């Protein structure tokens, strides 16, 4: 059995080669598992084993998670109709998730064509394909903004000088002690009620709006890692009102800050935009094998020659920087053993002070 200790001694090239072999074996094993499940389902052996369903048979006896069991059962149903699916599953051209998505739509008539259409497609692409092929006309719905009930939270604050335990006579009987304490608490406690109101918003939008939301999630991953719609909507309307609301324009104080370009990490907005356009808004990291990352999430602006090593402090041109994903930025530090960079990082107090190094996409 392979352990982490055994992998430490393997070179980079051998590690990737061995991993490719393991992935191939994994696909073959998954294909075999689906074939077994299809035959067990056909013979109803789960009932003979005392289980009410194939789903409970897999989750209870073999400890599959609910999602894993469901995907394998759905794939097994497709395999029973079209056994050739197993070969595509073992080669990786079909996945469990794509087969589970099409299972409810597969028939003897449309099965082969539908399976051919999902070759090599991701989950989102399969979902979009199914929505175009089997979509039903959605009933007309009205936009809704419904205010939910107010949640009240009460907190009490006590004044330390109000209660003097030394004045209480603990030798007295209980009926006399408790009124004394409650009276002391009532005199010194101040209640503060905090009202929290949530709002439920519903509307139906087209695919273009969905793509805009997904793009906004990519751009704001640094600020909102969880990608909650509440945060994205708030950010979008704040920016809109900041530009269009006359009241905000009147009350906004414009502060002009002159920054010395010779000894600062600040990057002018003009340079940011030029770098963004040059690098097409994606990570520019290229592996030794020539594989480009091209990720559009968790991007940051990187000094090609690290700032801690004195990289071109007087020159603020776009040649000095590149856009890179945070994981590749960390990898470059480890690869080049930037000890000075680590010292600067610790001195700044961690990621909370890295705003000047991060590429703030929202401001481009």
**pLDDT digit string, tens, across residues 233-291:** 999 999 898 888 877 777 765 544 444 444 566 777 888 888 888 888 888 888 777 78
Please tell me the distance from the alpha carbon of residue 51 to that of residue 87, in angstroms, as a whole number.
30
Alpha-carbon distance of 296 to 280, in angstroms, equals 9
Q: Is the predicted pLDDT of residue 227 greater than 90, yes or no?
A: no
* Contact yes or no for 83/56 (Cβ under 8 A): no
For residue 117, what pLDDT is reported? 94
d(CA 180, CA 129): 73
59-109 confidence digits (pLDDT tens)? 999 999 999 999 999 999 999 999 999 999 999 999 999 999 999 999 999
Contact between 347 and 355 under an 8 Å Cβ cutoff? The reply is no
**Quick one: CA torsion of 301, 306, 310, 312, rounded to 10 degrees?**
-50
pLDDT of residue 331: 74
Q: Which residue has the higher pLDDT, 316 or 28?
A: 28
Name which of 143, 299, 289, 116 is nearest 215 in CA terms: 299
Domain residue limits, the chain:
20-129, 221-250, 269-363
| 301 backbone dihedrals φ, ψ, rounded to 5° | -85, 125
Q: Report, in angstroms and rounded to the nearest whole number, the Rg of the chain calculated over CA atoms.
A: 31
With CA atoms as reference, report the closest residue to 114 among 129, 135, 131: 129
């Amino acid at each position: 059995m392979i352990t982490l200790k055994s992998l430490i001694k393997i070179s980079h090239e051998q590690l990737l080669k061995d991993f490719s072999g393991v992935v191939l074996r994994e696909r073959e094993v998954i294909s075999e598992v689906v074939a077994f499940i299809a035959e067990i389902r056909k013979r109803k052996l789960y009932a003979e084993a005392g289980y009410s369903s194939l789903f409970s048979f897999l989750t209870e006896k073999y400890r599959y998670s609910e999602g894993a069991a469901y995907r394998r059962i759905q794939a097994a149903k497709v395999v029973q109709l079209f056994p050739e699916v197993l070969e595509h599953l073992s080669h990786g051209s079909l996945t469990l998730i794509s087969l589970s998505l099409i299972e409810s739509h597969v028939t003897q008539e449309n099965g082969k064509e539908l399976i051919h259409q999902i070759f090599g497609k991701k989950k989102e692409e399969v979902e979009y394909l199914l929505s175009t092929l089997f979509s039903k006309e959605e009933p007309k719905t009205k936009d809704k903004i419904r205010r939910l009930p107010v949640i009240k939270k009460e907190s009490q604050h006590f004044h330390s000088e109000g209660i003097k335990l030394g004045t209480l006579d603990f030798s007295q009987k209980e009926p006399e002690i408790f009124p004394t304490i409650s009276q002391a608490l009532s005199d010194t406690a101040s209640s503060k009620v905090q009202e929290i109101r949530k709002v439920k918003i519903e509307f139906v939008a087209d695919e273009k709006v969905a793509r805009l939301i997904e793009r906004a999630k990519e751009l704001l991953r640094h600020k909102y890692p969880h990608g909650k719609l509440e945060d994205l909507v708030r950010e979008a309307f704040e920016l809109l009102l900041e530009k269009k609301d006359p009241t905000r324009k009147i009350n906004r104080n414009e502060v002009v800050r002159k920054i010395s370009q010779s000894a600062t990490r600040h990057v002018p907005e003009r340079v940011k935009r030029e770098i963004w356009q040059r690098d097409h808004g994606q990570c520019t990291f290229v592996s030794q094998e020539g594989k480009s990352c091209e990720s559009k999430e968790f991007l940051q602006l990187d000094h090609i020659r690290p700032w801690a090593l004195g990289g071109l402090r007087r020159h603020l041109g776009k040649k000095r920087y590149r856009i890179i994903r945070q994981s590749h930025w960390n990898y470059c530090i480890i690869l080049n053993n930037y000890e000075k960079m680590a010292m600067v990082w610790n001195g700044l107090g961690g990621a909370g002070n890295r705003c000047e190094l991060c590429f703030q996409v929202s401001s481009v």
